[in-house]
Amino acid sequence: MHEKELKTAVAAAQKAGALLMKMSREKVSVRFKSSIDLVTGADQASEALVISIIRKGFPKDDIMTEESHDQRTASQRRWIIDPLDGTTNFAHGFPVWCVSIAFEEKGLVKAGAVYNPNLGELFTAAKGRGAYLNGKRIVVSAEKDLIKGLLATGFPYDVHTSPENNLANFQKFIKRAQAVRRPGSAAIDMAYLACGRFDGFWEIKLKPWDAAAASLMITEAGGRITDFSGRRYSIYRPECLASNGKIHRQMLKVLENRKK
């Protein structure tokens, strides 16, 4: 099921990753969408390449991307693309960024690829078929205690101005977990959770392209993903809490007390 879609996602992610690696060694244009939210010429070049590859195989499918808004159709088959997740890292030469591509059908993500060319790591997943890193099946960690867990998170682009900025959550978790990391790419954070490098992840104000592919990897690797109240997760809603499943209730308890 959805083999062609997964192969297309992989091919597009790898080709875009190769292009981005080349561009990372060059001077690229940078434009600010807000005071700290930026887009580079690399984002745009990667997106154009990914769209062209998808359009060749699936000309009538809907395409949702971070940078373009003119690829939408009425199809129930949708591609959700982040051509460069971790743009700020990329612009500063910090090698934590990736290409994320997901295929969604009738509201359910069925296949996805997250490719970090800096480490040559390709994460893939297909609904009901497991999650993989460079062809080897991956599973979430076995850690049962939050105090021993390594967590990851991020902060929204309006962190300077909005009271909903994740800082209170960060303060609570850093006192209850072994450590918290903030690498700067939600797709990589979530893929790392799927392969057991992180034990838990939470974030607010994510967009569909940030989490679509990696959210499937987490569930296919045996993890759990919900909103902050423990309800069913949707890539179209702003709260994301993911874990290996074993520390999920402990993380929910921290978030339930976030305003106290």
How far apart are the C-alpha atoms of 164 and 159, rounded to whole Å? 8
pLDDT at 260: 42
- On average, the pLDDT of the chain sits at 92
Within this chain, do residues 133 and 209 fall inside the same structural domain, yes or no?
A: no
Q: Within 13 Å, how many C-alpha atoms sit on residue 257's CB side?
A: 9
Within this chain, do residues 42 and 63 fall inside the same structural domain, yes or no?
A: yes
How far apart are the C-alpha atoms of 14 and 4, rounded to whole Å? 15
Kindly report which listed range (132-141, 153-162, 186-195) carries the lowest average pLDDT score. 153-162
How far apart are the C-alpha atoms of 221 and 210, rounded to whole Å? 18
CB 245 within 8 A of CB 224: yes
Within this chain, do residues 85 and 186 fall inside the same structural domain, yes or no?
A: no
CB 78 within 8 A of CB 103: yes
Within this chain, do residues 155 and 130 fall inside the same structural domain, yes or no?
A: no
Of 137, 157, 173, the one marking the end of a domain is 137
CATH number of the domain bearing residue 189:
3.40.190.80
Question: Distance from first CA to last CA of the chain, Å, rounded?
Answer: 47
How far apart are the C-alpha atoms of 52 and 22, rounded to whole Å? 19
Q: How many residues are recorded in the chain?
A: 260
Within this chain, do residues 119 and 158 fall inside the same structural domain, yes or no?
A: no
Residue of 28 and 122 predicted with greater confidence? 122
Number of domains in the chain: 2
Of 137, 166, 181, the one marking the end of a domain is 137
Within this chain, do residues 210 and 112 fall inside the same structural domain, yes or no?
A: no
For 109-138, write each residue's pLDDT tens digit: 999 999 999 999 999 999 999 999 999 999
Within this chain, do residues 44 and 82 fall inside the same structural domain, yes or no?
A: yes
What's the whole-number mean pLDDT along residues 194-201?
Answer: 98
Q: Which pair of tokens denotes residue 239?
A: 């709260």
Within this chain, do residues 57 and 121 fall inside the same structural domain, yes or no?
A: yes
CATH number of the domain bearing residue 35:
3.30.540.10
Kindly report which listed range (116-120, 122-126, 165-169, 252-256) carries the lowest average pLDDT score. 165-169
Within this chain, do residues 15 and 132 fall inside the same structural domain, yes or no?
A: yes
Residue of 70 and 52 predicted with greater confidence? 52
**Per-residue exposure over 39-69, b if at least 16 CB sit within 10 Å of its own CB, e if not:** bbebbbbbbbbbbebbeeebeebbbbbbbee
Of 80, 109, 137, the one marking the end of a domain is 137
**Residue 226 is part of which domain span?**
146-256
What's the whole-number mean pLDDT along residues 61-66?
Answer: 92
How far apart are the C-alpha atoms of 223 and 243, rounded to whole Å? 6
* Whether residue 252 has pLDDT greater than 60: yes
Within this chain, do residues 133 and 163 fall inside the same structural domain, yes or no?
A: no
How far apart are the C-alpha atoms of 249 and 192, rounded to whole Å? 20
* Whether residue 259 has pLDDT greater than 60: no
Within this chain, do residues 133 and 152 fall inside the same structural domain, yes or no?
A: no
Kindly report which listed range (36-40, 143-147, 207-211) carries the lowest average pLDDT score. 36-40
Within this chain, do residues 121 and 227 fall inside the same structural domain, yes or no?
A: no
What's the whole-number mean pLDDT along residues 196-207?
Answer: 97
Structure pTM? 0.93
What's the whole-number mean pLDDT along residues 4-24?
Answer: 97
Residue of 156 and 170 predicted with greater confidence? 170
